[in-house]
Amino acid sequence: HDVRFINRLDAVFFDLDGTLIDFHIAEHRSILAILSAHGVDPSEENARRYGEINKEHWDAYGRGEISKEVLLTRRFEVFFAEAGHPLAGGTDEARGIDAAYQTLLARNTVLHEGALDLVRSLHGRVPLLIATNGVYQTALAKLETAGLSAFFPWVAASETIGQQKPDRAFFSAALELCGCSDPARVLMVGDLWEADIAGAASSGLKTCWFNPSGSLRPADDAAGPEVPDLEVRTLEELRVLLGV
């Protein structure tokens, strides 16, 4: 790779949860607190079951079957009903639980190792943007907690854009947000193959797959062998590859 890779870039887009942020830690701590607060045993088994229900709802949202608002409340309605604590207040109560959960997620934000160094090194050399399918206000709060707000003048969230990764419309809107006319001069860094890597590549962006667990790309993947442009196990590795 050209050690001056950074000189070929007009911007770097970062996914937030799972890329800059160790989302599993934040999610785990936050859901245990929610369970305790609502009289459900904060066991590993219950946390795991919530995780499964949550994933089912995110997948349905990804397929366009439910809205973000429905996803955020129904996951709690389904979980608590299954756990034998149905929500008497229905969707309104679920909305309150989600608001508390979003606050906890932001408060429990933990950065992946090397995230701050990487972002600091890039800052001032190339514009940085957050590209997330998460909740806009929660993303802002997470950046604040993590001490990253000052480095990211733009946050492109599916909620505010009205489209989500991997849709081309999402990436077009993100490019427009930071005034980048040439997608080939923008690098998308993310951990999810479909949403971040295949999505950005099909929109003409350069891609870096942050793949800490060394996962294999999906067998049915339609992206060509030239995707991703970079693949790293650590964010420090990316800093070195970019030459910053």
At 2-56, the pLDDT tens digits run 557 888 999 999 999 999 999 999 999 999 999 999 999 999 999 999 999 999 9
Task: Phi first, then psi: give them for residue 95, nearest 5 degrees.
Answer: -65, -40
- Phi-psi category of residue 204: left, alpha or beta, with phi > 0 → left and psi -120 to 50 → alpha: left
Rounded-to-integer distance, Cα 137 and Cα 134, Å: 9
**133 and 230 assigned to the same domain:** yes
**38 and 151 assigned to the same domain:** no
Instruction: Compute the average pLDDT of residues 111-134.
Output: 97
**42 and 118 assigned to the same domain:** no
**148 and 231 assigned to the same domain:** yes
**31 and 121 assigned to the same domain:** no
What local confidence, expressed as pLDDT, does residue 5 receive?
Answer: 82
**What's the pLDDT band for 152 if we cut at 50, 70, 90?**
very high
Indicate yes or no: pTM above 0.85: yes
**100 and 114 assigned to the same domain:** no
What local confidence, expressed as pLDDT, does residue 62 receive?
Answer: 82
What local confidence, expressed as pLDDT, does residue 52 receive?
Answer: 97
Q: Which residue has the higher pLDDT, 150 or 61?
A: 150
**13 and 40 assigned to the same domain:** no
**117 and 185 assigned to the same domain:** yes
**153 and 206 assigned to the same domain:** yes
The enclosing domain of 59 has a CATH number of 1.10.150
The range of the structural domain enclosing residue 49 comes to 25-107
Asked if the peptide bond before residue 225 counts as cis, ω within 30 degrees of 0, the response is no
What local confidence, expressed as pLDDT, does residue 204 receive?
Answer: 97
* Burial per residue of 102-141, b for 16 or more beta-carbon CB atoms within 10 angstroms, e otherwise: bebbbebbbbbebbbebbebbeeebbbbbbbbbbbbbbbb
- At 205 the three-state DSSP class reads coil
DSSP code at position 123: T
The last residue of one of the domains, among 107, 123, 143, is 107
For residues 148 and 119, the answer to whether their CB atoms sit within 8 Å is: yes
Residue with token string 């707000």: 149
Rounded-to-integer distance, Cα 170 and Cα 179, Å: 14
Q: Which residues pair with 230 in a beta bridge?
A: 208
For residues 115 and 234, the answer to whether their CB atoms sit within 8 Å is: no
**What's the pLDDT band for 226 if we cut at 50, 70, 90?**
confident
pLDDT digits (tens, 9 = 90+) for 108-121: 999 999 999 999 99
Give me the number of domains the chain comprises: 2
Q: Which H/E stretch holds residue 230? A: strand 230-232
**235 and 177 assigned to the same domain:** yes
**161: CB partners within 8 A, 6+ apart:** 169, 170, 173, 174
**What's the pLDDT band for 197 if we cut at 50, 70, 90?**
very high
The per-residue DSSP string of 131-142 comes to EESS-HHHHHHH
